[in-house]
Structure 1
């Protein structure tokens, strides 16, 4: 390590290039480590278990324009007819579609409104007893609704007094695991918990209430009615092709729109997150390439400035490996200092992202992994120019001396 001092002195005589490279490595380390963490978070978010057989479910809206249509009666006839279609497992009218980014939510509390007590925000699904089977949801405890418990009305004055909630919601409200049979309050309206379901994501996958949902036995049909249908595996495409004409044959004074598979509904909802992830990947690649090219270019520039110096060292007996080692050590010194600065910047950046964008704490593993990667890239980038320097002929380099 006797070369450290002359290398350091040489860098001090050419500070601008070294400082620029140091800053480039620091910026790359800070941005890449945080970007890699965000990408891993996005991947976990995109691949989370929703609780639904998405490939077998599709949804559509029916907009009626005929006069004197009994919407409640028509919805019941439509549901029954759809369930009889070949390849269909079940169908239901519902107020909102899971994973869609739009729906209804409210607060559920252990005590009536106006009293102090624990409560949570949860998504609300209003449907009849076919909701569970249509969306392929498993009931862990309790039971499903009975037909007698379903409120089929044209206004919200008769709200149901029973409901199902997800296990995540039950665990949050009743940590002791005794939620079944207990009463929750939706405002001043009591709701007895008759069943607890397995994983079942709500309409908003990014919301803190994504795992909290309440299913209420309530059917409210109107001009615009939302249907969800579950088919046998591999039968969805065929049923979707037939459903529009099938519905029009039942009642032709209406329009079928928004026909879409549940997986496509989810894909549309998470499309901005996929775009963000791809942009971050591109940024990581671009920053890494720029850093590597910067190291490559700076080393070539230093070689052109030190041609005679290198030739003199070669003439005095320096081996090719000595020349290569010189430039590798020089680059490693710059890189290590840049990585120290960049690692500190990465931690501060992560704290700001956590504060302003509700991200979780970034594990230091990402900073360490990025630092090692940047160091390896920087060392690889300098090897080519260093070999070129080692091949400089002493006679050519010292010709004018």
Structure 2
């Protein structure tokens, strides 16, 4: 028999500890359920497919201070040299680096500015016909740029190109019927015909609202600051990276080569804050669960010390050890159920606040249910040891005097 009524009256006579414990359980349930959901969301974010062979790609920067060369021609020579290095699959000058957290973005429209029309925001990369192969991205429709379609210039205002290759995500947002191939979109007032559509690839910002929207534009401008992307054969990236600075300076020495990093390393730097937050939340969850378990353990021990003579009397009257254990398990379950009810309400409210202020998705009920079950089981396990100790109290305790 569960003896719920006498257990309830006993709790009412010593309600401070019970109230503190149920508040602790409620707080744990609310925070752990939301933290677990955020952790799962961050894990999915960190493990998402980017569309690149990250382990085979690396990037580097070139700062040119020499004034005795044509920059655009020099970069063409550099690309040719890089592609000839042993272990290199392809190389290209790239105006932005994917996954790095730094790049360019703009609105792409169905009509030239300033006319009103459908507008979709997308990142864009100025690159030549080697760009797709360098990044290891596959075409799913249409074709790549030809060499004749690439504008190579030293002037920042000369943009004579009129074609682009876009990701499937961008094409489908601009043309929901799936007929974007061959259509013309506008980059400001510059018309660009979509000649190719690529498989999914991420832009510079994984945290962007449209990370899959990327447009590749065949345009190379010679600037004193430039970025290069290089794809190597599997397992040969480290060896090629060691040669880059020497090879580039041998090609032209009035410049500085720096920030030679793998694409996966750039991505890790970009998401470092997310990894730190995830680890902190894991620590927070662990501490909360341990503190709650210790609170239950401590309260049960306190109740046993207060009721030692009462327990001894029950044992003297014939109560079995299992009855003593059940008493404390039911008492704890009653406190836990009230705490979980308050915790579920608090979890929903906290989830709403996070959704409003931090643009986090709504907390799924499964996370609340899972957390509630975990806390309930943990509370029973925490009380079982002290309850078993109480069951071993000798009946002779009831006959002792102080």
Equivalent position of 1:79 in the other structure: 79
Alpha-carbon distance between aligned partners in 1 of 2:252 and 2:134, rounded to the nearest angstrom: 23
- Cα 1:2–1:228 change in 2 (3 A) is closer
Q: Does 1:278 align with 2:248?
A: no
**Structure 1 portions without partners, runs of 5+:** none
C-alpha distance after superposition, 1:179-226 (max 9, x if no partner): 001111112221111110101100000111210011000001211111
| Structure 2 SS opposite 1:322 | helix
Contact kept? 2:313, 2:397, Cα under 8 Å = no
Alpha-carbon distance between aligned partners in 2 of 1:163 and 1:307, rounded to the nearest angstrom: 82
Shift of 1:63: 1.0
Equivalent position of 2:156 in the other structure: 156
Equivalent position of 2:326 in the other structure: 325
Equivalent position of 2:397 in the other structure: 396
Alpha-carbon distance between aligned partners in 2 of 1:259 and 1:62, rounded to the nearest angstrom: 10
Equivalent position of 1:96 in the other structure: 96
| Structure 1 SS opposite 2:271 | helix
Equivalent position of 1:362 in the other structure: 363
Alpha-carbon distance between aligned partners in 1 of 2:245 and 2:307, rounded to the nearest angstrom: 77
Of 366-375 and 352-361, deviating more is: 352-361
Alpha-carbon distance between aligned partners in 2 of 1:397 and 1:243, rounded to the nearest angstrom: 85
Alpha-carbon distance between aligned partners in 1 of 2:22 and 2:153, rounded to the nearest angstrom: 70
Equivalent position of 1:61 in the other structure: 61
| Structure 1 SS opposite 2:343 | helix
Which aligned segments of 4 or more residues in structure 1 are displaced greater than 6 angstroms? Answer: none
**Structure 2 portions without partners, runs of 5+:** none
Shift of 1:2: 5.1
Alpha-carbon distance between aligned partners in 2 of 1:113 and 1:11, rounded to the nearest angstrom: 73
C-alpha distance after superposition, 1:99-155 (max 9, x if no partner): 000000000011222333211110010010010000000111100001111011123
After superposition, the CA RMSD in angstroms is: 1.0
C-alpha distance after superposition, 1:225-258 (max 9, x if no partner): 1111000000101000111111111111111100
Of 383-392 and 69-78, deviating more is: 69-78
Shift of 1:157: 2.4
Alpha-carbon distance between aligned partners in 1 of 2:86 and 2:171, rounded to the nearest angstrom: 37
- Normalising by structure 2, we get a TM-score of 0.98
C-alpha distance after superposition, 1:317-365 (max 9, x if no partner): 1111000000000000000111111011111111111111111112100
Equivalent position of 1:352 in the other structure: 353
- Cα 1:202–1:178 change in 2 (3 A) is same
C-alpha distance after superposition, 1:8-36 (max 9, x if no partner): 00111111100000000000000000011
* Superposed counterparts of 1:20-59, under 5 Å: 20-59=20-59
Alpha-carbon distance between aligned partners in 2 of 1:215 and 1:209, rounded to the nearest angstrom: 15
Equivalent position of 2:197 in the other structure: 196
Equivalent position of 2:16 in the other structure: 16
* Superposed counterparts of 1:102-121, under 5 Å: 102-121=102-121
Shift of 1:397: 3.8
| Structure 1 SS opposite 2:245 | helix
Alpha-carbon distance between aligned partners in 2 of 1:394 and 1:161, rounded to the nearest angstrom: 94
Equivalent position of 2:217 in the other structure: 216
Contact kept? 2:2, 2:327, Cα under 8 Å = no
C-alpha distance after superposition, 1:290-334 (max 9, x if no partner): 010000000000001111111111111111100000000000000
Equivalent position of 1:228 in the other structure: 229
Alpha-carbon distance between aligned partners in 2 of 1:389 and 1:148, rounded to the nearest angstrom: 87
Shift of 1:67: 2.6
C-alpha distance after superposition, 1:168-189 (max 9, x if no partner): 1111111111000111111222
Alpha-carbon distance between aligned partners in 1 of 2:155 and 2:288, rounded to the nearest angstrom: 58
Contact kept? 2:108, 2:120, Cα under 8 Å = yes
Alpha-carbon distance between aligned partners in 1 of 2:352 and 2:344, rounded to the nearest angstrom: 13
